[in-house]
Structure 1
Amino acid sequence: MELPAVNLKVILLVHWLLTTWGSIVFGGPYSWANFTILALGVWAVAQRDSVDAISMFLGGLLATILLDIIHISIFYQWNVVSATGRFSAGMAILSLLLKPLSCFLVHHMYRERGGELHFHSDFLGPSQERSAYQTIDSTAEPAEPVSGFEPRGPDARGY
């Protein structure tokens, strides 16, 4: 299936605009949650090859779907709503309705960056192969520094 070419910057711009308008009525937790996730999106734009950045943004978008439902349902005052309040609530709801589409598009970008489709069975376990690491209680000599930095002892200072 061929997906439309949507830039991550466009997704961020749309959600930033809708979040800004939605924050007129739903301030506080709604604004904090959504603007924090948009900051993760900026990180994903800045580091185009980072799987971590795009996966954090995707996970944040998924989390804000639930949080937006909770915020809107708790804090929307049905009986005293002005035109500004209806507009703001409408923009928050539109943002909420667009988030599943955004998640779908961001997931496609995640896959393009090398992310995997499924979780590993050791999801909560070690994330790297550690057999090449030296243990703390090992008596073997440490390996040479890779960075080229060589610590100097008292005899190397020229005293």
Structure 2
Amino acid sequence: AIILVHWLLTVWGCMGHMLPSSYAWGNFSVLAVGIWAIVQRDSLDAIMMFLTGLLLTVLTDIIHISVFYPSPHNFLSDVMRFSIGMAIFSLLLKPLSCYLVYRMYRERGGE
């Protein structure tokens, strides 16, 4: 469910073409690692890489949104407002996702 929610929010966040392609590449790459972590249930490395990737995308999302957010003088279309709103919503959900992934890591035997 974590991967599906973040995939959908990332797709919606990319709709407005306000954020650079590095936003999409970074988030989709981490989600691909998350799929690997789901497929290989016995791998601690996969879940740890997914957790690390999520933590890194929190930082990169903050940078992307703050640098590429339009100035207040620019007119924002509905699509752009929706897009940036979904990117911000994805960013706000990532700490919860990190906590849930960390619990999965502990369940798999991580310390």
TM-score category, normalised to shorter length: over 0.9
What is the alpha-carbon distance in structure 2 between the residues aligned to residue 20 and residue 27 of structure 1? 13
State, as a whole percentage, how many aligned pairs show the same letter: 65
What is the alpha-carbon distance in structure 2 between the residues aligned to residue 106 and residue 89 of structure 1? 25
Q: Which has the higher helix share?
A: 2
Superposed CA RMSD? 0.8
Partner of 1:20: 11
CA distances 1:116-156 after superposition (whole Å, capped 9, x unpaired)? 1xxxxxxxxxxxxxxxxxxxxxxxxxxxxxxxxxxxxxxxx
User: Of the candidates 53, 62, 71, which is equivalent to residue 69 of structure 1?
Assistant: 62
Equivalences, count: 107
Partner of 1:147: none
Partner of 1:44: 37
**Secondary structure of 1:49 counterpart:** coil
What is the alpha-carbon distance in structure 1 between the residues aligned to residue 69 and residue 96 of structure 2? 24
CA distances 1:20-67 after superposition (whole Å, capped 9, x unpaired)? 000123241100110000000010011011100000000000000000
User: Of the candidates 98, 112, 118, which is equivalent to residue 107 of structure 2?
Assistant: 112
Aligned positions of 1:76-115 closer than 5 A: 76-78=69-71, 79-115=74-110
Q: Give the number of the structure with larger relative contact order, counting CA–CA contacts within 8 Å between residues 6 or more apart.
A: 2
TM-score (norm 1): 0.66
Q: Aligned-pair distance for 1:115?
A: 1.1
Instruction: Please list every run of 5 or more consecutive structure 1 residues that lacks an aligned counterpart in the other structure.
Output: 1-9, 117-159
Q: Does 1:56 align with 2:43?
A: no
What is the alpha-carbon distance in structure 1 between the residues aligned to residue 20 and residue 5 of structure 2? 18
Instruction: Please list every run of 5 or more consecutive structure 2 residues that lacks an aligned counterpart in the other structure.
Output: none
TM-score (norm 2): 0.93
